[in-house]
Amino acid sequence: MSMDGIAIGLDIGGTNLRVAQVTYRGEVLKRTRRETSQDIVKDIIESIDELITEDTVGIGIGIAGVVDSTSGVVKRSPNLSQAEGIDLKSILSDKYNLPIRIDNDANAATLGERFVGAGRRFEDFVMLTLGTGIGGGVVINGALLKTASELGHITVEANGKKCLCPNSGCLEAYASGRAIVSDVIDQLEKGADSLLKDCCEGNIYKITPEDVYNYALEGDTLARETLKNAGKYLGIGIASLVNIFSPQAVIIGGGLTGAWDILVREAIREANKRAFPELIENVEILPAQLADNAGVVGAASLVLYSSEAK
């Protein structure tokens, strides 16, 4: 296969559709971004048509939700319900006559890290993306595990907080950006003493995870304790994943990695207390590298990278 081609990578989140031309070296040539409409198929096709070239070897799509990567059908996508049930793979195969690969966005980002990011050094790693929710992906023997890998939805508290999924006590309900903000607001509503009361011109319902981190750095106790508590739960989840997957590394990406020094440090401490010592002793816990491009490069890697093509 020529190494000159590009893949089109599409990262389809709740409200944004990001698309890029990605080379075999993982470089982004051109990229676009638009808001998603109710006609998601039209959005996708228009975006591809803008960027497709004669050198395009395939189209990769990472989409938030539960995807059957074999059939290419989006089974459930809470933030993008207009995509549910659509057989994107067939539609795009018919139109472009190119290989089409579709997977969950966190799985795609995981493969992107393996392709040109922090996962290049590891044959076996677990990736967690900490954003509004928590996504995940797993690489074993250099290849993406073809499973749902909904790592944010493992139970950490049997009778715990209600999650947005049917479960209670999910990791996501304790260690996601949404959980951190929700905890802070709960405490402020109960009258907790914190500088965060004055955040966002006094509208505490506009507090973001970044605000919590910034106030924590300034020494605010509520902000710091909330992040540490989320980090503790993140560590509990990491310990379970280490006991399951015995990985060489745990790679952490997503918006919350900004809070590494408080959140992830606490998680590492907790995970080391809990996991099998002989399994965790050599595990590297490190940040993802692809940052803003993780979504589109990950999606393109579904086409460009395979464990055979190392």
Residue of the chain from 40, 156, 173, 227 that contacts a second copy (CB under 8 A): 156
Q: C-beta of 243: minimal distance to a second copy in Å? A: 4
Give 168 or 182: the residue with its C-beta nearer to a second copy. Answer: 168
Distances (CA, A) of 8 to 36, 96, 206, 291: 17, 12, 35, 18
CA atoms within 13 A on the CB side of 25: 3
Residue of the chain from 98, 140, 192, 217 that contacts a second copy (CB under 8 A): 140
Give 196 or 236: the residue with its C-beta nearer to a second copy. Answer: 236
Is 266 a binding residue for a second copy by CB under 8 A? The answer is no
The Cα–Cα gap between 220 and 148 comes to 38
Residue of the chain from 8, 44, 109, 154 that contacts a second copy (CB under 8 A): 154
Q: What are phi and psi of 251, to 5 degrees?
A: -105, 130
Site residues for a second copy, 109-138, by CB under 8 A, read: 124
Residue of the chain from 30, 146, 206, 310 that contacts a second copy (CB under 8 A): 146
Is 168 a binding residue for a second copy by CB under 8 A? The answer is yes
Give 32 or 248: the residue with its C-beta nearer to a second copy. Answer: 248
Give the DSSP per-residue string, 200-230.
GGG-GGG--HHHHHHHHHTT-HHHHHHHHHH
CA atoms within 13 A on the CB side of 104: 25
Residue of the chain from 233, 249, 285, 302 that contacts a second copy (CB under 8 A): 233
Of the listed pieces 113-121, 182-190, 216-224, 274-282, which binds a second copy according to CB under 8 A?
274-282
Cα 62 to chain centroid distance, Å, stands at: 10
Residue 142 Ramachandran class (φ > 0 left, ψ -120 to 50 alpha, else beta): left
The Cα–Cα gap between 177 and 172 comes to 9
β-pairing, 284-287 vs 249-253, is parallel
Residue of the chain from 142, 279, 287, 307 that contacts a second copy (CB under 8 A): 279
Binding site for a second copy (CB under 8 A): 66, 75-76, 124, 140-141, 145-151, 153-158, 160, 165-168, 232-233, 236-237, 239-240, 243-247, 273-279
